[in-house]
Amino acid sequence: MTDVSGPPTVIRAASLLLMVTGLASLVFSLPVVMDPSSAQCHLSRTWIDDANTDKKDWNNVDTGGRKPDDLGCDEAVRLADGIRLKEKDPSKTATVPSDSALRIQNVMASLLGVGQGIAGFFVMRKLSRQARSMALGFSGAGIILQVLGIISLGVFAFVVYALAFSPASREIWPKQPRASGPAPE
């Protein structure tokens, strides 16, 4: 009887977490890539609602007595672009991202999600140093383009621990000794 064991638990958990995070990034980003104008409209309405429901009167938006959800998209975007950001400086107003900006950001997030999923899969499947480096790289990119907010930071911390500092990772990927002495001529 042969004992076929997979990767250590901490490596497996980090790989699965990376795959799930990648899938979640993809699921949240693809709808915006497919219909950025709808996302822009939703974002504008949310900003208007947030401005009108906070305790600050100076940034309220006049919707003519209508709820933000009842506003047309063009009107919501126009009104959201005028939301004041600072009480003492009325020239500082919010800027709603354009359709192309939303699409580009979410295409990048989708690619990041696919990369995280593939990296997690290959770490679990191959346990190669290259797959580990790829997983660490995509996890690090995940904290720059935070699709999942603070969760991305937690995923990064756990993946770095599991793949770079855990006892299991040191056993699988020991430090390679560097050549000492003068460089060959």
What are the sequence ranges of the domains in the chain? 10-169
Distance of CA 110 to the CA centre of its chain: 9
d(CA 180, CA 185): 14
pLDDT in tens, 25-65: 999 999 999 999 999 999 999 999 999 898 888 888 999 88
Q: Which residue from 155, 144, 57 is spatially nearest to 108, judged by alpha carbons?
A: 144
Place of tokens 């959800």: 69
Is the model's pTM score more than 0.85? no
